[in-house]
Amino acid sequence: MKADSSLVTSVIYSPNNSGKRVYPLTRVSVHCVVGQCVASSLGNLFSNASFEASSNYGVGKDGSIGQYLPESYRSWCTSSYDNDNRAITIEVASDTYAPYKVTDAAYKALIKLLVDICRRNGKKKLLWFGDKNKSLSYSPKSDELVMTVHRWFANKSCPGDYLYNLHGTIASEVTKQLGGSSGSTPTTTPSTNVAKPAVTFRVRQGGTWQKEGFTGTAGKAITDIAIKVTKGSVKYRVHVKGGSWLPWVTGYNTSEHSNGYAGNGKAIDAVQVYYSTPADVVNAHGYYKAKYLVSPLKKGFYSYQYDTETTNGQDGYAGSHGKTIDRFQVLLSK
Ligand SMILES: [Zn+2]
């Protein structure tokens, strides 16, 4: 196998592939390795048939670049026949723990590699929509590549929040170097004037939405919750007492049942909230988490829950199954 890119520092073929891709190249999927390794180590792993996984490229912690499959081949990387047949896949060495940070050397090499891939394949724009449905339904023009992420196809955090939050920056930086205009993709804002993110919420009790920021009236069951942030994104869901978790929602609109709030009008006993910090905030202030708590009917508040963490005695959610809650509070905290 010959390297497609002159940036490649090691070529190690992986038998874990389906041969030539059956769809035209229209996507790029960046992954995190969950390990700080050099490109050749990842190649050695993928060269083992029993590993049953591969990627087209790998970027090491030292900026080394490995190629494991020709760009024209379908890798076994994203848990999706459809996506892997359309995407060049790139694994990037990362920390083994959230947010799966990558080194500066790896980040710089990734940008270079993406620019090179685009140039050789006649692409002038790298696009990041930050939305699964929009990305998968979009028909790219012949000079566009769309970024997709593993977490849309499997129950994984890949590419990790560190790289995920940089996707907008990566898309605009690569497009800029290609000499194009990135259109809707965001650019990095100087850290000096980046506002800190804030959160607010509303709870519904007895069929009425309380005013914004009010934790709730003691003794009245909370049935629905709506949460919004000023920057970044939040996802949240509620658990119905005697029932199950309702789907995650991301919107904030008390008259939009499908994604505007969490709840179905029945008493709830637990809540989960997860905050994703955008790249400019990370650069200026660091990572934030949703910090929230609830109280069971007419009782004192339980302890704080951070995001969906299960470390330090946290349950991964606020509340206790079987115990209706009547008050709720959420903040953003580091
Ligand atoms: Zn992945």
Q: Each residue's pLDDT tens digit in the chain (334 positions)?
A: 999 999 999 999 999 999 999 999 999 999 999 999 999 999 999 999 999 999 999 999 999 999 999 999 999 999 999 999 999 999 999 999 999 999 999 999 999 999 999 999 999 999 999 999 999 999 999 999 999 999 999 999 999 999 999 999 999 999 999 986 544 444 444 445 788 899 999 999 999 999 999 999 999 999 999 999 999 999 999 999 999 999 999 999 999 999 999 999 999 999 999 999 888 888 888 889 999 999 999 998 999 999 999 988 899 999 999 999 999 999 999 8
67, part of any domain: yes
Same domain for 229 and 329, yes or no, is yes
**231 C-alpha to center of ligand 1: Å?**
26
182, part of any domain: no
**150 C-alpha to center of ligand 1: Å?**
5
Same domain for 126 and 51, yes or no, is yes
- pTM of the predicted model over 0.85: no
* Beta pairing class for 268-276 and 208-209: unpaired
**151 C-alpha to center of ligand 1: Å?**
7
- Which tokens go with 158? 């890949």
How many whole angstroms separate alpha carbon 120 and alpha carbon 108? 19
**Overall number of domains in the chain:** 2
184, part of any domain: no
Alpha-carbon distance values, 192 to 6, 19, 168, 189 (Å): 38, 49, 19, 8
* Beta pairing class for 65-67 and 199-205: unpaired
Q: Nearest-5° angle of CA 268, CA 299, CA 273?
A: 40
**196 C-alpha to center of ligand 1: Å?**
30
Same domain for 253 and 116, yes or no, is no
Amino acid at 217: T
- Where is the domain boundary, 142, 177, 212? 177
Sheet strand arrangement including 289-296: 305-306, 289-296, 325-333
Residue 225 has a CB neighbour count (10 Å cut-off) of: 26
3, part of any domain: no
Same domain for 36 and 169, yes or no, is yes
Same domain for 22 and 81, yes or no, is yes
Same domain for 137 and 83, yes or no, is yes
Same domain for 53 and 145, yes or no, is yes
**89 C-alpha to center of ligand 1: Å?**
9
49, part of any domain: yes
**158 C-alpha to center of ligand 1: Å?**
5
**156 C-alpha to center of ligand 1: Å?**
8
Same domain for 152 and 238, yes or no, is no
Same domain for 45 and 121, yes or no, is yes
**159 C-alpha to center of ligand 1: Å?**
6
* Beta pairing class for 318-319 and 268-276: antiparallel
Same domain for 136 and 84, yes or no, is yes
Note down the domain range covering 300: 194-333
Per-residue three-class SS string for 151-202: HHCCCCCCCHHHHHHHHHHHHHHHHHHCCCCCCCCCCCCCHHHCCCCCEEEE
Same domain for 106 and 208, yes or no, is no
**258 C-alpha to center of ligand 1: Å?**
29
CB 324 within 8 A of CB 241: yes
How many whole angstroms separate alpha carbon 71 and alpha carbon 60? 18
CB 290 within 8 A of CB 275: yes
**255 C-alpha to center of ligand 1: Å?**
36
**148 C-alpha to center of ligand 1: Å?**
11
